Chains A and B, each alone.
Chain A
Amino acid sequence: MIRFSLHKKLKASTGDMQLDVECHIDQGKLVTLFGESGAGKTSILRMLAGLLMPEKGTIEVNNSVWLDTQKGINLKPQQRKTGYVFQDYALFPNMTVKENLEYALDKNQDIGIVKELIEIIELTDLQDRKPETLSGGQKQRIALARALVRQPQILMLDEPLSALDRAMRTKLQDYILHVHRKYNLTTILVSHEMSEIFKLSDEILVLENGTITRQGTPMDIFTNRHISGKFQFTGEILHIEKEDIIYIISVLIGNNLVKVVADQSEVQQFSIGEKVLVASKAFNPMIEKINH
Protein backbone atom coordinates (compact mmCIF):
# COMPACT_ATOMS: atom_id res chain seq x y z
CA MET A 1 0.00 0.00 0.00
CA ILE A 2 1.34 3.40 -1.00
CA ARG A 3 -0.10 6.51 0.55
CA PHE A 4 1.09 9.95 -0.34
CA SER A 5 0.22 13.56 0.07
CA LEU A 6 2.35 15.99 -1.89
CA HIS A 7 2.23 19.75 -2.11
CA LYS A 8 4.53 21.87 -4.20
CA LYS A 9 4.52 24.94 -6.35
CA LEU A 10 5.70 23.91 -9.80
CA LYS A 11 7.17 26.18 -12.42
CA ALA A 12 5.65 25.22 -15.73
CA SER A 13 6.01 26.85 -19.14
CA THR A 14 2.48 28.15 -18.75
CA GLY A 15 3.25 29.76 -15.41
CA ASP A 16 3.27 28.64 -11.82
CA MET A 17 1.03 25.82 -10.76
CA GLN A 18 0.19 24.51 -7.34
CA LEU A 19 0.41 20.73 -7.10
CA ASP A 20 -1.77 19.29 -4.35
CA VAL A 21 -2.28 15.56 -4.52
CA GLU A 22 -3.37 13.02 -1.98
CA CYS A 23 -3.93 9.45 -2.84
CA HIS A 24 -3.45 5.85 -1.94
CA ILE A 25 -2.61 2.94 -4.18
CA ASP A 26 -3.11 -0.68 -3.22
CA GLN A 27 -0.24 -3.15 -3.35
CA GLY A 28 -0.01 -4.99 -6.66
CA LYS A 29 -2.03 -2.49 -8.67
CA LEU A 30 -1.01 -0.98 -11.96
CA VAL A 31 -2.06 2.64 -11.85
CA THR A 32 -1.92 5.21 -14.63
CA LEU A 33 -1.39 8.91 -14.07
CA PHE A 34 -3.40 10.55 -16.79
CA GLY A 35 -3.52 14.22 -17.65
CA GLU A 36 -2.35 16.90 -20.04
CA SER A 37 1.32 17.65 -20.30
CA GLY A 38 2.28 20.05 -17.58
CA ALA A 39 -0.36 18.69 -15.24
CA GLY A 40 2.34 17.51 -12.84
CA LYS A 41 2.50 13.80 -13.67
CA THR A 42 6.27 13.53 -13.95
CA SER A 43 6.71 15.70 -10.86
CA ILE A 44 4.69 13.21 -8.82
CA LEU A 45 6.89 10.33 -9.99
CA ARG A 46 10.02 12.33 -9.23
CA MET A 47 8.81 13.16 -5.74
CA LEU A 48 8.02 9.51 -5.06
CA ALA A 49 11.51 8.55 -6.24
CA GLY A 50 13.08 11.24 -4.07
CA LEU A 51 14.43 13.23 -7.02
CA LEU A 52 12.24 16.21 -6.28
CA MET A 53 11.42 17.62 -2.88
CA PRO A 54 7.89 18.78 -2.16
CA GLU A 55 7.34 21.81 0.06
CA LYS A 56 5.05 19.78 2.24
CA GLY A 57 4.04 16.17 2.17
CA THR A 58 4.20 12.58 3.33
CA ILE A 59 4.97 9.35 1.53
CA GLU A 60 4.31 6.04 3.17
CA VAL A 61 5.10 2.77 1.43
CA ASN A 62 4.13 -0.55 2.97
CA ASN A 63 4.06 0.97 6.45
CA SER A 64 7.48 2.60 6.23
CA VAL A 65 7.73 6.34 6.04
CA TRP A 66 9.81 7.66 3.14
CA LEU A 67 8.94 11.28 3.59
CA ASP A 68 7.36 13.37 6.27
CA THR A 69 8.26 17.01 5.92
CA GLN A 70 6.80 17.91 9.30
CA LYS A 71 8.88 15.35 11.14
CA GLY A 72 11.90 16.07 8.98
CA ILE A 73 12.03 12.57 7.49
CA ASN A 74 13.25 12.37 3.91
CA LEU A 75 14.83 9.20 2.58
CA LYS A 76 17.38 9.72 -0.18
CA PRO A 77 16.61 8.26 -3.62
CA GLN A 78 19.23 5.58 -2.84
CA GLN A 79 17.32 4.47 0.26
CA ARG A 80 13.90 4.26 -1.38
CA LYS A 81 13.35 1.01 -3.20
CA THR A 82 11.94 2.31 -6.43
CA GLY A 83 12.41 1.36 -10.03
CA TYR A 84 12.25 4.29 -12.41
CA VAL A 85 12.11 4.08 -16.18
CA PHE A 86 13.03 7.48 -17.56
CA GLN A 87 11.49 8.98 -20.64
CA ASP A 88 14.91 9.11 -22.31
CA TYR A 89 15.75 5.60 -20.95
CA ALA A 90 18.87 7.00 -19.15
CA LEU A 91 20.96 3.97 -20.03
CA PHE A 92 24.65 4.36 -19.20
CA PRO A 93 26.40 4.70 -22.57
CA ASN A 94 29.71 3.43 -21.22
CA MET A 95 28.29 0.07 -20.17
CA THR A 96 26.96 -2.88 -22.13
CA VAL A 97 23.40 -4.11 -21.70
CA LYS A 98 24.53 -6.62 -19.11
CA GLU A 99 26.75 -4.12 -17.30
CA ASN A 100 23.86 -1.67 -17.12
CA LEU A 101 21.86 -4.29 -15.26
CA GLU A 102 24.78 -5.44 -13.11
CA TYR A 103 25.46 -1.86 -12.07
CA ALA A 104 22.04 -1.81 -10.43
CA LEU A 105 22.84 -4.81 -8.19
CA ASP A 106 22.94 -4.11 -4.48
CA LYS A 107 25.95 -5.24 -2.48
CA ASN A 108 25.85 -9.00 -1.93
CA GLN A 109 22.83 -9.36 -4.19
CA ASP A 110 22.65 -12.56 -6.19
CA ILE A 111 23.73 -11.93 -9.78
CA GLY A 112 21.17 -14.48 -10.98
CA ILE A 113 18.50 -11.82 -11.23
CA VAL A 114 20.41 -10.13 -14.06
CA LYS A 115 20.37 -13.27 -16.17
CA GLU A 116 16.72 -13.87 -15.38
CA LEU A 117 15.72 -10.34 -16.39
CA ILE A 118 17.76 -10.42 -19.59
CA GLU A 119 15.95 -13.61 -20.50
CA ILE A 120 12.56 -12.10 -19.73
CA ILE A 121 13.18 -9.13 -22.00
CA GLU A 122 14.67 -11.47 -24.62
CA LEU A 123 17.96 -9.66 -25.05
CA THR A 124 20.34 -12.51 -24.26
CA ASP A 125 21.87 -12.25 -27.73
CA LEU A 126 22.50 -8.53 -27.37
CA GLN A 127 23.67 -8.46 -23.76
CA ASP A 128 27.25 -7.55 -24.62
CA ARG A 129 26.30 -4.68 -26.90
CA LYS A 130 26.46 -1.02 -25.93
CA PRO A 131 23.06 0.72 -25.74
CA GLU A 132 23.81 3.17 -28.56
CA THR A 133 23.80 0.32 -31.07
CA LEU A 134 20.27 -0.75 -30.14
CA SER A 135 16.79 0.31 -31.23
CA GLY A 136 14.43 2.42 -29.16
CA GLY A 137 12.32 -0.56 -28.20
CA GLN A 138 15.34 -2.56 -27.12
CA LYS A 139 16.66 0.34 -25.04
CA GLN A 140 13.28 0.64 -23.40
CA ARG A 141 13.33 -3.03 -22.48
CA ILE A 142 16.78 -2.66 -20.94
CA ALA A 143 15.63 0.35 -18.95
CA LEU A 144 12.67 -1.67 -17.72
CA ALA A 145 14.83 -4.64 -16.77
CA ARG A 146 17.43 -2.43 -15.07
CA ALA A 147 14.72 -0.79 -12.98
CA LEU A 148 13.71 -4.24 -11.73
CA VAL A 149 17.13 -5.50 -10.65
CA ARG A 150 16.80 -4.18 -7.10
CA GLN A 151 13.30 -5.65 -6.86
CA PRO A 152 11.65 -2.33 -6.14
CA GLN A 153 8.52 -1.79 -4.11
CA ILE A 154 7.25 0.68 -6.67
CA LEU A 155 7.96 0.60 -10.39
CA MET A 156 7.51 3.95 -12.08
CA LEU A 157 7.33 4.41 -15.82
CA ASP A 158 7.37 7.90 -17.29
CA GLU A 159 5.64 7.70 -20.68
CA PRO A 160 7.66 4.63 -21.46
CA LEU A 161 6.24 3.96 -24.88
CA SER A 162 5.65 7.40 -26.34
CA ALA A 163 8.67 7.24 -28.63
CA LEU A 164 7.90 3.83 -30.09
CA ASP A 165 5.88 2.71 -33.06
CA ARG A 166 2.63 0.85 -32.65
CA ALA A 167 3.87 -2.71 -33.06
CA MET A 168 6.77 -2.17 -30.66
CA ARG A 169 4.42 -0.55 -28.19
CA THR A 170 2.14 -3.54 -28.04
CA LYS A 171 5.08 -5.80 -27.42
CA LEU A 172 6.41 -3.62 -24.64
CA GLN A 173 3.00 -3.39 -23.04
CA ASP A 174 3.12 -7.15 -22.83
CA TYR A 175 6.56 -7.03 -21.18
CA ILE A 176 5.34 -4.48 -18.67
CA LEU A 177 2.28 -6.55 -17.81
CA HIS A 178 4.39 -9.66 -17.56
CA VAL A 179 6.91 -8.28 -15.09
CA HIS A 180 4.23 -6.42 -13.17
CA ARG A 181 2.49 -9.71 -12.47
CA LYS A 182 5.56 -11.88 -12.13
CA TYR A 183 7.20 -9.71 -9.48
CA ASN A 184 3.94 -8.63 -7.87
CA LEU A 185 4.87 -4.98 -8.34
CA THR A 186 2.98 -1.85 -7.60
CA THR A 187 3.39 0.05 -10.82
CA ILE A 188 2.73 3.69 -11.63
CA LEU A 189 2.61 4.61 -15.27
CA VAL A 190 2.38 8.00 -16.94
CA SER A 191 0.52 7.72 -20.20
CA HIS A 192 -1.70 9.57 -22.67
CA GLU A 193 -2.47 6.64 -24.89
CA MET A 194 -6.04 5.48 -24.40
CA SER A 195 -5.63 1.93 -25.68
CA GLU A 196 -2.51 1.52 -23.56
CA ILE A 197 -4.34 2.68 -20.46
CA PHE A 198 -7.22 0.31 -21.04
CA LYS A 199 -4.89 -2.58 -21.66
CA LEU A 200 -2.56 -2.03 -18.73
CA SER A 201 -4.24 -0.20 -15.90
CA ASP A 202 -6.26 -1.41 -12.98
CA GLU A 203 -6.86 2.13 -11.97
CA ILE A 204 -6.48 5.64 -13.33
CA LEU A 205 -5.66 8.84 -11.50
CA VAL A 206 -6.83 11.81 -13.54
CA LEU A 207 -4.65 14.81 -12.89
CA GLU A 208 -5.99 18.24 -13.77
CA ASN A 209 -4.23 21.49 -12.88
CA GLY A 210 -2.22 19.89 -10.14
CA THR A 211 -4.96 17.95 -8.40
CA ILE A 212 -6.35 14.47 -8.76
CA THR A 213 -9.87 15.03 -9.95
CA ARG A 214 -10.94 11.43 -10.41
CA GLN A 215 -9.71 7.98 -9.46
CA GLY A 216 -11.26 4.79 -10.80
CA THR A 217 -11.08 1.97 -13.29
CA PRO A 218 -10.51 2.90 -16.95
CA MET A 219 -14.09 1.94 -17.66
CA ASP A 220 -15.37 4.20 -14.90
CA ILE A 221 -13.31 7.12 -16.04
CA PHE A 222 -13.50 6.98 -19.79
CA THR A 223 -16.95 5.66 -20.56
CA ASN A 224 -19.80 7.80 -19.41
CA ARG A 225 -22.16 4.95 -18.96
CA HIS A 226 -22.12 1.37 -17.83
CA ILE A 227 -23.16 -1.02 -20.48
CA SER A 228 -23.99 -4.65 -19.89
CA GLY A 229 -22.21 -6.04 -22.97
CA LYS A 230 -19.33 -8.20 -21.77
CA PHE A 231 -17.47 -8.05 -25.04
CA GLN A 232 -16.10 -4.55 -24.76
CA PHE A 233 -13.08 -2.89 -26.27
CA THR A 234 -11.93 0.60 -26.93
CA GLY A 235 -10.35 1.47 -30.19
CA GLU A 236 -9.78 4.12 -32.76
CA ILE A 237 -11.87 4.64 -35.89
CA LEU A 238 -9.69 4.19 -38.95
CA HIS A 239 -12.22 4.17 -41.71
CA ILE A 240 -15.95 4.66 -42.35
CA GLU A 241 -17.46 3.28 -45.52
CA LYS A 242 -21.00 3.15 -46.85
CA GLU A 243 -22.07 -0.23 -48.10
CA ASP A 244 -25.56 -0.46 -49.50
CA ILE A 245 -27.78 1.17 -46.87
CA ILE A 246 -25.50 0.48 -43.95
CA TYR A 247 -22.08 1.74 -42.92
CA ILE A 248 -19.04 -0.32 -42.07
CA ILE A 249 -16.76 1.24 -39.49
CA SER A 250 -13.21 -0.12 -39.23
CA VAL A 251 -11.89 0.15 -35.71
CA LEU A 252 -8.35 -0.52 -34.60
CA ILE A 253 -8.43 -2.29 -31.25
CA GLY A 254 -4.95 -2.86 -29.91
CA ASN A 255 -3.27 -4.38 -32.93
CA ASN A 256 -6.38 -5.84 -34.49
CA LEU A 257 -8.61 -4.32 -37.08
CA VAL A 258 -12.27 -5.10 -36.50
CA LYS A 259 -15.30 -4.02 -38.45
CA VAL A 260 -18.60 -2.92 -37.01
CA VAL A 261 -21.85 -2.38 -38.88
CA ALA A 262 -23.56 0.90 -38.09
CA ASP A 263 -26.59 2.86 -39.10
CA GLN A 264 -26.45 6.27 -40.73
CA SER A 265 -27.73 8.01 -37.61
CA GLU A 266 -24.78 6.57 -35.67
CA VAL A 267 -22.20 7.36 -38.31
CA GLN A 268 -23.02 11.04 -38.17
CA GLN A 269 -21.59 11.34 -34.67
CA PHE A 270 -18.31 9.64 -35.49
CA SER A 271 -15.21 10.87 -37.20
CA ILE A 272 -11.99 9.17 -38.23
CA GLY A 273 -9.41 8.98 -35.50
CA GLU A 274 -12.00 9.13 -32.75
CA LYS A 275 -11.80 6.79 -29.77
CA VAL A 276 -14.83 4.57 -29.46
CA LEU A 277 -16.18 1.82 -27.28
CA VAL A 278 -17.11 -1.32 -29.17
CA ALA A 279 -19.49 -3.54 -27.24
CA SER A 280 -21.36 -6.71 -27.92
CA LYS A 281 -23.05 -9.25 -25.77
CA ALA A 282 -21.02 -12.21 -24.66
CA PHE A 283 -23.65 -14.41 -26.28
CA ASN A 284 -22.63 -13.51 -29.81
CA PRO A 285 -18.90 -14.15 -30.28
CA MET A 286 -17.73 -17.57 -31.33
CA ILE A 287 -14.72 -19.00 -29.66
CA GLU A 288 -12.46 -21.45 -31.37
CA LYS A 289 -9.12 -23.08 -30.80
CA ILE A 290 -6.31 -21.87 -32.99
CA ASN A 291 -4.65 -24.78 -34.75
CA HIS A 292 -0.92 -24.50 -35.07
Chain B
Amino acid sequence: MNTLRAEITSVKVHGNLSLVELHLEGTTLKSIVIETPATASYLKKGNTINVLFKETEVIIGKGKGQPISLRNILDCTITNIEKGVLLSKLSLKFKGHSIASIITTNAVEHLDLKKGEQITAMIKTNEIMLSD
Protein backbone atom coordinates (compact mmCIF):
# COMPACT_ATOMS: atom_id res chain seq x y z
CA MET B 1 0.00 0.00 0.00
CA ASN B 2 1.39 3.39 -0.99
CA THR B 3 0.87 6.11 1.56
CA LEU B 4 1.40 9.81 0.92
CA ARG B 5 0.43 12.66 3.18
CA ALA B 6 -1.30 15.56 1.47
CA GLU B 7 -3.29 18.62 2.39
CA ILE B 8 -6.95 18.95 1.45
CA THR B 9 -7.52 22.02 -0.70
CA SER B 10 -11.17 21.50 -1.55
CA VAL B 11 -14.09 19.12 -0.95
CA LYS B 12 -16.89 19.06 -3.52
CA VAL B 13 -19.95 17.25 -2.21
CA HIS B 14 -22.80 15.85 -4.24
CA GLY B 15 -25.24 13.60 -2.39
CA ASN B 16 -23.20 10.99 -0.59
CA LEU B 17 -20.17 11.43 -2.79
CA SER B 18 -17.29 13.82 -2.28
CA LEU B 19 -14.58 14.76 -4.72
CA VAL B 20 -11.57 15.67 -2.62
CA GLU B 21 -8.69 17.71 -3.99
CA LEU B 22 -5.37 17.48 -2.28
CA HIS B 23 -2.09 19.22 -2.61
CA LEU B 24 1.34 17.65 -2.36
CA GLU B 25 4.62 19.18 -3.46
CA GLY B 26 2.98 21.37 -6.10
CA THR B 27 1.02 18.46 -7.55
CA THR B 28 -2.75 18.15 -7.31
CA LEU B 29 -4.27 14.79 -6.33
CA LYS B 30 -7.95 13.91 -6.58
CA SER B 31 -9.99 11.24 -4.85
CA ILE B 32 -13.66 10.38 -5.00
CA VAL B 33 -15.11 8.79 -1.87
CA ILE B 34 -18.53 7.71 -0.58
CA GLU B 35 -18.23 9.96 2.45
CA THR B 36 -19.11 13.54 3.19
CA PRO B 37 -17.67 15.93 5.77
CA ALA B 38 -20.71 14.94 7.86
CA THR B 39 -19.84 11.23 7.86
CA ALA B 40 -16.05 11.58 7.93
CA SER B 41 -14.73 14.34 10.15
CA TYR B 42 -11.32 14.36 8.48
CA LEU B 43 -12.76 15.72 5.21
CA LYS B 44 -11.95 19.30 6.07
CA LYS B 45 -10.16 21.85 3.99
CA GLY B 46 -6.66 22.44 5.32
CA ASN B 47 -6.42 18.99 6.97
CA THR B 48 -3.37 16.93 6.16
CA ILE B 49 -4.44 13.32 5.71
CA ASN B 50 -3.24 10.00 4.34
CA VAL B 51 -3.68 9.26 0.67
CA LEU B 52 -3.66 5.50 0.12
CA PHE B 53 -3.48 3.52 -3.08
CA LYS B 54 -2.40 0.02 -3.93
CA GLU B 55 0.79 -0.65 -5.86
CA THR B 56 -1.17 -2.65 -8.40
CA GLU B 57 -3.32 0.38 -9.23
CA VAL B 58 -0.40 2.60 -10.27
CA ILE B 59 -0.24 3.03 -14.03
CA ILE B 60 3.09 3.90 -15.65
CA GLY B 61 3.40 6.24 -18.65
CA LYS B 62 6.40 7.33 -20.60
CA GLY B 63 6.58 10.81 -22.08
CA LYS B 64 3.66 13.21 -22.20
CA GLY B 65 1.44 13.05 -25.16
CA GLN B 66 -2.24 12.61 -25.56
CA PRO B 67 -4.89 13.98 -23.19
CA ILE B 68 -5.90 11.39 -20.58
CA SER B 69 -8.78 10.95 -18.13
CA LEU B 70 -6.51 10.17 -15.20
CA ARG B 71 -6.44 13.03 -12.74
CA ASN B 72 -3.57 11.90 -10.56
CA ILE B 73 -0.32 12.28 -12.41
CA LEU B 74 2.94 12.11 -10.52
CA ASP B 75 6.31 12.83 -12.14
CA CYS B 76 8.64 10.16 -10.82
CA THR B 77 12.10 8.69 -11.21
CA ILE B 78 12.58 4.93 -11.25
CA THR B 79 14.96 4.00 -8.44
CA ASN B 80 14.76 0.24 -8.78
CA ILE B 81 13.17 -2.47 -10.89
CA GLU B 82 12.52 -5.90 -9.42
CA LYS B 83 11.62 -8.24 -12.23
CA GLY B 84 9.55 -11.34 -11.64
CA VAL B 85 8.33 -13.88 -14.14
CA LEU B 86 4.92 -12.29 -14.71
CA LEU B 87 4.95 -9.20 -12.52
CA SER B 88 7.55 -6.58 -11.77
CA LYS B 89 7.82 -4.05 -9.02
CA LEU B 90 9.02 -0.54 -9.77
CA SER B 91 10.31 1.53 -6.88
CA LEU B 92 9.67 5.19 -7.65
CA LYS B 93 10.73 8.49 -6.18
CA PHE B 94 8.20 11.33 -6.28
CA LYS B 95 9.81 14.53 -5.06
CA GLY B 96 11.48 12.73 -2.19
CA HIS B 97 8.56 10.39 -1.43
CA SER B 98 8.87 6.69 -2.16
CA ILE B 99 6.06 4.90 -3.89
CA ALA B 100 5.85 1.60 -5.74
CA SER B 101 4.06 0.24 -8.76
CA ILE B 102 3.41 -3.34 -9.70
CA ILE B 103 2.91 -3.91 -13.42
CA THR B 104 3.47 -6.86 -15.70
CA THR B 105 7.01 -7.78 -16.62
CA ASN B 106 5.78 -7.74 -20.18
CA ALA B 107 4.89 -4.02 -19.85
CA VAL B 108 8.30 -3.25 -18.32
CA GLU B 109 9.98 -4.81 -21.33
CA HIS B 110 7.61 -3.26 -23.85
CA LEU B 111 8.15 0.25 -22.46
CA ASP B 112 11.85 -0.52 -22.07
CA LEU B 113 11.87 0.91 -18.53
CA LYS B 114 15.25 1.44 -16.91
CA LYS B 115 16.60 2.49 -13.56
CA GLY B 116 16.99 6.28 -13.30
CA GLU B 117 14.49 6.96 -16.02
CA GLN B 118 11.84 9.73 -15.74
CA ILE B 119 8.26 8.43 -16.00
CA THR B 120 4.77 9.47 -14.97
CA ALA B 121 2.85 7.42 -12.41
CA MET B 122 -0.92 7.71 -12.69
CA ILE B 123 -3.75 6.60 -10.44
CA LYS B 124 -7.48 6.68 -11.17
CA THR B 125 -9.47 8.99 -8.92
CA ASN B 126 -11.63 6.13 -7.65
CA GLU B 127 -8.63 4.04 -6.61
CA ILE B 128 -7.44 6.47 -3.99
CA MET B 129 -8.56 5.96 -0.42
CA LEU B 130 -8.29 8.55 2.29
CA SER B 131 -7.74 8.08 6.01
CA ASP B 132 -6.89 10.16 9.02
Contacts and interface: CB of A to CB of B under 8 A. Distances in A.
- Please tell me whether chains A and B touch each other in their complex, using a CB distance cut-off of 8 A: yes
Interface string B32-43: 111100001110
A145 B130 CA distance: 44
Contacts of B102: 245-246, 263
A76 to B, nearest CB: 45
A241 to B, nearest CB: 14
B42 A263 contact: no
A263 B131 contact: no
Nearest to A226: B132
Contact of B34 (A225, A262, A279, A282): A282
Interface in B22-56: 31-35, 40-42, 50, 52, 54-56
Interface in A161-202: none
A273 interface: no
A226 B42 contact: yes
A133 interface: no
A261 interface: yes
A244 B129 contact: no
B85 interface: yes
Interface residues of B, number: 30
A245 B131 contact: no
B34 A245 contact: no
Interface string A261-280: 11100100000000000010
A228 to B, nearest CB: 4
A56 interface: no
Contact of A228 (B1, B33, B85): B33
A280 B41 CA distance: 20
A244 B54 CA distance: 17
Nearest to A242: B84
A139 B71 CA distance: 58
B106 to A, nearest CB: 13
A279 to B, nearest CB: 7
A225 B130 CA distance: 10
Given A226-B131, A228-B130, A263-B89, A244 B84 contact: yes
Main secondary structure of the interface of A (DSSP, over half): loop
Contacts of B131: 225-228
Nearest to B86: A244
Nearest to A264: B89
A281 B53 CA distance: 10
A244 B126 contact: no
A93 interface: no
Contact of B126 (A245, A266, A283): A283
B87 interface: yes
Contact of A244 (B33, B40, B87): B87
A245 B34 CA distance: 32
Contacts of B126: 281, 283-284
A279 B128 CA distance: 12
Contact of A245 (B33, B89, B129, B132): B89
Contacts of A230: 34
30 contacts: A225-B50, A225-B131, A226-B40, A226-B41, A226-B42, A227-B52, A227-B130, A228-B33, A228-B34, A228-B35, A228-B40, A228-B129, A230-B34, A244-B84, A244-B85, A244-B86, A245-B84, A245-B88, A246-B84, A246-B87, A246-B89, A263-B1, A263-B89, A279-B129, A281-B33, A281-B126, A281-B127, A281-B129, A282-B34, A283-B127
